[in-house]
């Protein structure tokens, strides 16, 4: 039996509240002082939770594999990230705040400079400014709302980049890039890679022609290319799978987007850690599964700023008592991947996790840190098992077999 | 290569004796004193074995999944419990002490009250007494021995419930319940759910008609229903897989039954822990793999009786020297699942395991308990790997690859 079906078959509904607090890029590596950011941070509240709960390390994909935010989050939500993947176009769309429905096709756009006979002179239109990009997108959005019954939504990005989301019946991602790949070559128009992609390819080419007409007077950005056609992966929603009513509390577009893909409601929160936890409190009565996403730990890790990452963790720790006031039945604190400030990037190192419920074998751990967690009662666990464990501690799974 | 084939391919025969002592429901949760039943129990002999051996925790199915006794035992015997499962009808049959051969179809029966035109007035025949049930089964057994060349064996259960085992060529479990599901509806006769089930369905319907004739004079139990047609899973036997000659020493019918399903001989033992170990001693020269099942630890856990569970473990510990006198080459002490008295039920928590042989990296562990085992040399291990480990410590596995 497949694991994802196994849980669905056993799952029960009840009133327990499950809280998953994701500290982006939580895991780190020892700095010059011999301690990781988390180990060096003064986190008395998390330490206490670690000693009251069970701790371990989450292997997000498998040993040695560095996860992107997509696979990291899918694993935390119970999907094996090797069985489900989120395409590049989709992630870009989520990153610029696009709302993506299951059938939509997301595409990465480039403003580009076209010469005579549709030769692509500059695929990046001289890297126009992001402000200019915004203006052009606003103008195009007014003039292109629908093509062949397919709705078009455009989102500006940085410099020459934008995102297009196409919504309608019969669309498919099975379309080759509309992009000659090199400057100085004639335009290569979109072509379906299977018969399923023909509508999308013809809509894409019609879109590019309309952009050419509308921007004919522009010097640099007088046309566009479309690349990376992708649809949301076909994945059952969290409520279908686990009979939960989940909500995401996150401030960055990509995380809201991933949450929507797995069927979570998304509520707005003010930026800043206080804002997150205020939103959590205000939503507490309406849902039973809460995903809270803290971004800044990852951003500082990516910057290589050890001290700032450590300070975010300390600030977060000081807000933990607010979380505990809500009395979650199951509380998990973990990350979606490691971001050691030494590497200035995501890394493959497994991620500390702590789980608190009335049903834990507590006491193996004196503080919340990578090396304490390595000795913990949860062991080193594939991250996609976490959801089953949270449901179990919420007494939401019946027995397997008699 | 499938793991189960891997072991078969490498397995060797020799004279080593392997002993698997299963303490049902062994694992627990910390009580008010901060200790689990096993941690609180005075178990000097098991503690000594733990320090001389390797310890760890067995994940019976996967994190968060609470196993029934069937999946728990299959895992201990080396079968991945997600690849092999035992149907409800089979387990009921094993539970009442029925002997089930691989081709047999086991069915749960209800005595029921039939009215005119085959309307089922009461599916449970007014919950007749278990004594009355026994009488009826004795009477029916004398009068229905065979139908269409298929042998019929009947076993009384509690109140209106009984078990029927059908043995013969060409039977299949692919039959829908002979049961209208609700009182007041006309009888719904057995129907094959695929062509393979046609013989079984017609035998079942003929059986029900004969019961109607034989019990025509009864007021309440004047007929029956048949539900949950199931056959033993197709699984290779332990001796086929591992070239061992295994025996089960267990007092409860269900565990004897599971042992027979995997091809073990079953010997009778007096109830009580002493009886088990006397039977073990007396069989020591005849077999090379010994499965000994201790039930009471689970029963007291299910009752929520922390102290009684702890006392069973202490009693068991006092008998360990008798086991050691036999000088097993490999000794494993573990459980088929956790049954914390706080939960009064099976639970998902991994199960302590200790393994003693001359070939262990001993010394990580000061006593036999959940949290000592969490730090052990075996780590947290899927339970279905245990069999391979026992064979290896018995020097019964050759090298994989050159």
B74 by DSSP, 3-state: which?
helix
Residue A343 has pLDDT above 70, yes or no: yes
Partner residue opposite B67 with nearest CB, options A360, A378, A401: A401
pLDDT per residue as tens digits for the range A175-205: 999 999 999 999 999 999 999 999 999 999 9
pLDDT number for residue A1: 66
B383 by DSSP, 3-state: which?
helix
Paired tokens of A81 = 């990230």
For chain B, what percent of residues have pLDDT higher than 90? Answer: 86
CA distances, A43 to each of A277, A317, A321, B216 (Å): 17, 5, 12, 77
Name the nearest CA neighbour of B99 among B168, B154, B20, B172.
B154
Name the nearest CA neighbour of B296 among B66, B37, B101, B78.
B37
Instruction: Name the fold adopted by A91-231.
Output: Alpha-Beta Plaits (3.30.70)
Partner residue opposite A400 with nearest CB, options B67, B349, B379: B67
CA distances, A17 to each of A289, A318, B199, B342, B361 (Å): 6, 22, 51, 20, 43
CA distances, A380 to each of A73, A74, A303, A325, A377 (Å): 17, 18, 28, 30, 9
Measured distance CA(B317)–CA(A209) in Å, rounded: 83
The residue ranges of DSSP E strands in A120-173, in sequence order, are 120-122, 146-147, 150-156, 161-167
Mind telling me how many Å the CA of B94 is from chain A's nearest CA?
Answer: 11
Mind telling me how many Å the CA of A394 is from chain B's nearest CA?
Answer: 10
Cβ <8 Å between B375 and A375: yes
Using a CB-CB distance cutoff of 8 angstroms, which residues of chain A are in contact with residue B36?
361
Mind telling me how many Å the CA of B383 is from chain A's nearest CA?
Answer: 15
pLDDT per residue as tens digits for the range A200-227: 999 999 999 999 999 999 999 999 999 9
CATH homologous superfamily for B3-84+235-393?
Alkaline Phosphatase, subunit A (3.40.720.10)
Taking any CB pair shorter than 8 Å as contact, residues of chain A touching chain B are: 1, 3, 6-7, 10, 359-364, 375-379, 381, 385-393, 397-402
Paired tokens of B368 = 């036999």
Average pLDDT in chain A? 94
Torsion sign across C-alpha atoms A362, A363, A365, A366:
positive
Question: For chain B, what are the domain ranges?
Answer: 3-84+235-393, 91-231
Over residues B339-351, mean pLDDT: 97
Taking any CB pair shorter than 8 Å as contact, residues of chain B touching chain A are: 29-30, 34, 36, 57, 61-71, 81-82, 85-86, 88, 91, 340, 342-343, 345-349, 370-371, 374-375, 379-380
CA angle A63, A378, B314 (to 5 degrees): 140
Residue B235: pLDDT band by 50, 70, 90 thresholds?
Answer: confident
Cβ <8 Å between B62 and A375: no
Using a CB-CB distance cutoff of 8 angstroms, which residues of chain A are in contact with residue B364?
none
Cβ <8 Å between B71 and A389: no
Cβ <8 Å between B67 and A10: no
Partner residue opposite A377 with nearest CB, options B61, B348, B374: B374
pLDDT per residue as tens digits for the range B286-314: 999 999 999 999 999 999 999 999 999 99
Measured distance CA(A102)–CA(A235) in Å, rounded: 9
pLDDT per residue as tens digits for the range B25-53: 999 999 999 999 999 999 999 999 999 99
Determine the residue of chain A that is closest to B254 in CA distance: A402
pLDDT per residue as tens digits for the range A90-141: 887 887 888 788 789 999 999 999 999 999 999 999 999 999 999 999 999 9
pLDDT number for residue B268: 85
Residue A44 has pLDDT above 80, yes or no: yes
Domain A3-84+236-393: top CATH class:
alpha beta
| Lookup result for tokens 């267990």 | B250
Mind telling me how many Å the CA of A354 is from chain B's nearest CA?
Answer: 14
Partner residue opposite B63 with nearest CB, options A10, A361, A385: A385
Mind telling me how many Å the CA of B15 is from chain A's nearest CA?
Answer: 35
Return the residue in A380, A391, A398, A399 with the most chain B beta carbons within 10 A, the one to mutate for interface testing. Answer: A399
pLDDT number for residue A90: 86
Over residues B82-98, mean pLDDT: 82
For chain A, what percent of residues have pLDDT higher than 70? Answer: 100
Contact A25, A297 (CB under 8 A): yes
Using a CB-CB distance cutoff of 8 angstroms, which residues of chain B are in contact with residue A383?
none
Q: Do domains B3-84+235-393 and B91-231 have the same CATH topology?
A: no
pLDDT per residue as tens digits for the range A48-58: 999 999 999 99
Ramachandran category for residue B35: left, alpha or beta (phi over 0 → left; psi -120 to 50 → alpha):
beta
Q: What is the DSSP secondary structure assignment for residue A194, as one 8-state letter?
A: S
Residue B207 has pLDDT above 80, yes or no: yes
Over residues B182-206, mean pLDDT: 96
pLDDT per residue as tens digits for the range A12-42: 999 999 999 999 999 999 999 999 999 999 9
Average pLDDT in chain B? 94
pLDDT per residue as tens digits for the range B132-181: 999 999 999 999 999 999 999 999 988 999 999 999 999 999 999 999 99
């Amino acid at each position: 039996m497949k694991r994802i079906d196994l849980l669905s078959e056993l799952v029960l509904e009840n009133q327990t509240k499950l809280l998953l607090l994701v500290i982006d890029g939580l895991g780190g590596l020892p700095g010059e002082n011999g301690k990781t950011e988390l180990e060096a941070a003064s986190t008395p509240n998390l330490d206490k939770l670690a000693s009251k709960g069970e701790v371990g390390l989450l292997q997000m994909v498998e040993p040695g594999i560095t996860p992107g935010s997509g696979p990291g989050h899918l694993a935390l939500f119970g999907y094996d990230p090797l069985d489900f993947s989120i395409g590049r176009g989709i992630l870009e769309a989520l990153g610029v705040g696009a709302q993506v429905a299951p059938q939509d096709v997301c595409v990465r756009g480039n403003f580009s400079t076209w010469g005579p006979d549709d030769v692509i002179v500059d695929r990046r239109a001289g890297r126009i400014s992001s402000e200019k990009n915004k203006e052009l997108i606003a103008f195009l959005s007014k003039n292109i709302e629908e093509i062949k019954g397919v709705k078009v939504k455009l989102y500006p990005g940085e410099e020459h980049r934008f995102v297009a989301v196409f919504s309608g019946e019969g669309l498919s991602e099975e379309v080759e890039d509309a992009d000659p790949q090199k400057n100085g070559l004639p335009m290569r128009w979109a072509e379906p890679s299977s018969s399923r992609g023909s509508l999308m390819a013809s809509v894409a080419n019609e879109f590019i022609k309309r952009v050419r007409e509308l921007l004919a007077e522009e010097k640099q950005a007088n046309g566009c290319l479309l690349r990376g056609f992708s649809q949301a992966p076909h994945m059952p929603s969290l409520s279908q799978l686990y009979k939960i009513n989940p909500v995401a509390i996150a401030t960055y577009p990509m995380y809201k987007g991933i949450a929507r893909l797995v069927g979570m409601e998304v509520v707005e929160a003010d930026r800043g850690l206080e804002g997150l936890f205020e939103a959590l409190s205000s939503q507490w009565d309406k849902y039973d599964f809460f995903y809270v996403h803290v971004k800044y730990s990852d951003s500082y890790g990516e910057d290589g700023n050890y001290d700032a990452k450590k300070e975010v963790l300390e600030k977060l720790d000081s807000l933990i008592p607010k979380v505990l006031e809500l009395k979650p039945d199951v509380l998990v604190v973990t990350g979606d991947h490691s971001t050691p400030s030494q590497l200035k990037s995501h890394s493959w190192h497994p991620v500390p996790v702590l789980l608190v419920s009335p049903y834990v074998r507590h006491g193996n751990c004196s503080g919340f840190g990578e090396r304490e967690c390595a000795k913990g009662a949860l062991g080193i666990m594939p991250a996609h098992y976490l959801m089953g464990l949270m449901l179990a501690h919420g007494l939401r799974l019946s027995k397997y077999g008699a």
